[in-house]
Amino acid sequence: MVGPELLVSAETKDRVAVRPDRVFRHAIRLGARGVVLSHNHLSCTGPSDADHAVTRRLVAAGHLLCVPLLASLVIEPDAVHDLVSARTWLTTAPAGHP
């Protein structure tokens, strides 16, 4: 099932504010079996530590709610990174940890 596109966060130049409750509230209301998220990076810097931290939190929340995060896409002018399928969020230290 393909659902509507929803804006669930606000992003500044160097920060993403994603709240799992906002993401999954919409998914649960729609009866979704999974969630795909995306955002863009205007520069080709690859996924940031914050991207990995948000993905980690959303994977955990989706697991608890039985609505898995299927993809977390970082879209750049010349590349698309899927943090879920690459599983890089597993090996990246949480923010504030070495």
State which residues form the domain around 55.
33-98
Q: Is residue 45 part of a domain?
A: yes
Residue 16 is predicted with a pLDDT of 60
Query: 9: helix, coil or strand?
Result: strand
Residue 52 is predicted with a pLDDT of 86
Sign of CA dihedral 87, 98, 56, 16: negative
Q: Residue 74 maps to which CATH number? A: 3.40.140.10
* Contacts of 86 by beta carbon, 8 Å cutoff, 6+ apart: none
Residue 82 is predicted with a pLDDT of 93
Which parts of the chain have pLDDT scores under 70? Answer: 1-16, 88-98
- Identify the helix (H) or strand (E) that includes residue 64: helix 49-65
Q: Is residue 60 part of a domain?
A: yes
The tally of domains found in the chain comes to 1
Q: Is residue 46 part of a domain?
A: yes
Q: How far apart are CA 81 and CA 89, in angstroms?
A: 12
Q: How far apart are CA 58 and CA 72, in angstroms?
A: 9
